[in-house]
Structure 1
Amino acid sequence: MKTPNYQLYLVTDEKLDEQRLCHVIEQSVCGGVSIIQLREKHQNTRQFIRKASAVKDLLKSMEIPLIINDRIDVALAVNADGVHLGQSDMPVDIARKILGPDKIIGLSVESHEQLIFANHLDIDYIGLSAIYNTATKTDIRFEWKQEGLEWAIQHTQHPIVAIGGINQETLPAIAKIGVDGVAIVSAICQSENPKKAASELLAAFHSSQYVPA
């Protein structure tokens, strides 16, 4: 697989039913979303696989990677493009053995120590969480904010996708720092016009993006 484009990374809202979920994904991809993470914390395995299969079929012709949150079994069942793991999920080395060298593995990083340790792991990107406190994730122990993101960029060997409290207002300052991508949930999933929301977010990312001298 070619190197993923992480710039506008959509993490889905599990409150969406399958029909609405597919609508939001299709429209957001038309607006510029470049990678999708299907996040279903409270669905049983069969329900998760059903949703994942529907999303995989939708994205097949769009050439947009599908990442499954946490569940390696679901990723294998639908032949997803990769998984995103949390710090309490399956260890990265075991996940890589199961998935093979060609699948994408992302890892949530929630502290300075975790980021330094991740430099030694066979992952494709880190999800730096949380940049700002957010209602979507209620177990946040640490806010990176802009200063922490700057530190992370200087100390990681992996692409960084920033997540947490990122919207039209907060995105420009994040993009200026030089992050590889931003993960969006509510600003797209709860929008009445996901295509427009994605397009405006991507435009804000591009107009603010750090350009090395």
Structure 2
Amino acid sequence: MTKFQRNEIEELLQLYFIMGSTNCKKDPEYVLQQAIEGGITLFQFREKGPGALEGREKARLAQKLFRVCKDAGIPFIVNDDVGLAVELDADGIHVGQEDLAANFVRERAGDKILGVSAHTIEEANKAIRDGADYLGLGPIYPTISKDDARAVSGLAIIDNFRKNGITIPIVGIGGITAANARDVIQAGANGVSLISAIAAADDVKKASSELKRAVM
């Protein structure tokens, strides 16, 4: 398992920012710095979608953003790229159901934080058996940030997981804003994860601060 304690992970998930170059209106480094100043607690590098960087260009951007996080003491998670996570010595990796198997990732990633997206109780239990440290549930609300997003699950999925004995940390994702973030926490999640609500904001620092207040 990870070197992070469960209560540490619960706190880290509070305001979880996910971003790649395709999500930003401005320079990704600047956006990340502003988000950190606004109060994000965890960052995931997710370089996917039309126009996404690949190969060494992707790795170079990851290195830049990793340095920004390291300087600020914000843990850095890599989406679905174990090789890059190991190369950077990132703090963790997150995989979806269509990505690499969680047990393989745990084996490769050692004691890094392992997050797994889950949509059913069965997927959640398998992820836990495979060594997941937290689960990503969603999309809670309609979202435009992911072109591969599934049907909206609503807040009920969080409540359902908790009622079915899923006790590990949970973060909600999908269409979350400052106006509805508190509802996600009250449904049983430990935090909220966001892409466009921060990355596409005109004032990234202000947007992050408002979200932070909403989940406190």
Normalised TM-score (structure 2) = 0.88
1:149 matched to 2:158? The reply is yes
CA contact (8 A) 2:136 2:170 kept: yes
User: AA paired with 1:14?
Assistant: S
> Secondary structure, in 3 states, of the residue corresponding to 2:58?
helix
**CA shift for structure 1 position 17:** 6.7
- Residues of 1 paired with 2:33 and 2:162: CA distance? 31
**Divergent runs of 4+, >3 A:** 16-19
Question: 1:98–1:13: structure 2 CA closer, same or farther, 3 Å change rule?
Answer: closer
The runs of 5 or more residues in structure 2 that have no matched partner are: none
Percent identical across equivalent pairs? 33
**CA shift for structure 1 position 19:** 6.9
Question: 1:108–1:30: structure 2 CA closer, same or farther, 3 Å change rule?
Answer: same
Aligned to 1:35: 42
**CA shift for structure 1 position 13:** 4.0
CA contact (8 A) 2:23 2:200 kept: no
1:61-82: CA deviation from partner (whole Å, max 9, x where unpaired): 2111100110111111211111
Aligned to 1:96: 106
1:149-192: CA deviation from partner (whole Å, max 9, x where unpaired): 21122331321010001012221211222311100111111112
User: AA paired with 2:16?
Assistant: Y
- Residues of 2 paired with 1:119 and 1:8: CA distance? 22
Aligned to 2:179: 169
Question: 1:197–1:98: structure 2 CA closer, same or farther, 3 Å change rule?
Answer: same
- Residues of 2 paired with 1:178 and 1:112: CA distance? 15
Aligned to 1:72: 82
Aligned match for 2:33, one of 9, 15, 26 = 26
**CA shift for structure 1 position 111:** 2.8
Aligned to 2:213: 203
- Residues of 2 paired with 1:190 and 1:145: CA distance? 23
1:118 matched to 2:127? The reply is yes
Aligned to 2:144: 135
Task: Tell me the number of residue pairs that the alignment of Structure 1 and Structure 2 aligns.
Answer: 205
CA contact (8 A) 1:45 1:74 kept: no
Normalised TM-score (structure 1) = 0.89
Aligned match for 1:187, one of 191, 194, 197 = 197
- Residues of 1 paired with 2:91 and 2:97: CA distance? 20
CA contact (8 A) 1:56 1:80 kept: yes
Aligned to 1:210: none
Aligned match for 2:21, one of 2, 10, 14 = 14
1:63-105: CA deviation from partner (whole Å, max 9, x where unpaired): 11100110111111211111111112221111111111x2011
- Residues of 2 paired with 1:153 and 1:144: CA distance? 15
RMSD: 1.8
> Secondary structure, in 3 states, of the residue corresponding to 1:67?
strand
